[in-house]
Chain A
Amino acid sequence: MSDDTALLEVRGVGKRFGPVIALADVSTTVAAGQVTCVLGDNGAGKSTVISLLSGVHRPDEGEIRLAGVPVDFAGPRDALAAGIATVYQDLALVPLMSVWRNFVLGAEPTRRFGPLRRLDVRAARETTRTELAGMGIDLRDVDQPVGTLSGGERQAVAIARAVYLGARVLILDEPTSALGVKQAGTVLRHIAAARDRGIAVVFVTHNPHHAHPVGDRFLILKRGRSLGDHAKGELSRDDLTRLMAGGAELDDLAAELDRP
């Protein structure tokens, strides 16, 4: 993948929190219509990558380019305005509110003006239904409270909402980690659907089995450093798993645990 196709590009970024080097010299690219997976164990620096891309923190070294232009976000609002949306693990959904009220929250469609300005409920419901359907999500009823949805369905609603709100780059923080096998599979389908709509997806996960089928590019992190930034063709799933677990370490562990 050459630089001119990359929508989001990370060049040698580093971040320090006091004496702790959270991230050092990490580079990767995310292209429109492709999925870049950020993999790593706990403490590898995945959350720091998210915080830099979503404008929560500023990198101390290196630069982030959006569509070829270096960006410097003052905060999450800036990143959001530039089209970088983040779906965090808590999803930012209100359980007691209906699916459609959650979906349009903060960007509610209205009709009429002045004191007569009011929520366009029909448009909101319709938008929710069509946007969810466009992502391959079939909800029986957009009037039900979000709290009654399954974990996978909630994740799907949050992803579809970010897409609807105009995300060009979509950052997903461990969207499959709390889910069962079947639901995780469904969420992977939604990630592919977002990708197929031309969105650049950053899929952060610790699970190589989830990353490999959907990813086009893999950034593997360990203790704040990059273990490699590979295109899909360069790695098999086994390679990915081994890299993730620290290759040689896993072999040592296997030897150690092996019955004599």
Chain B
Amino acid sequence: MSANPQHTPYHPRWYRAPMPIFWWVRRWIHARFILRELTSIFVAGYALVYLLQLRALGMGPEAYGRFLELLQSPLSISLHGISLVFVMYHSITWFNLAPRALSLRLGGRRVPDKVIAGLNFAAWAGMSAALLWVTLTG
């Protein structure tokens, strides 16, 4: 992501080589960057599906039952399977970058990046287990 998104239509002071639209497909590291950015579509997409499920929940048992049936369709299962890969890619890349966003100091020493990332992954596992437990016992 660029720091300053401000666009100015004219650049009289320097020459900018024209970039092809799909500049990022030629190198894997660039494609991986775009894939990481595209995970946001699946994050928001699932947030919307979840919101629709809550809406159906509020509309009564029949509406909720119909929604659960919809979730059982092969199309829904496939889309959720693909989405799971992308949202997990989001989590992994997010936690791996956490040490760069958060610099912790303990006793005058910088906490190693691996420790910070490790704590994030542990929190992920813990929260996932907690939600699974709530579902199983609720």
Q: Do A and B come from one complex?
A: no
Interface residues of B (CB under 8 A from A): none
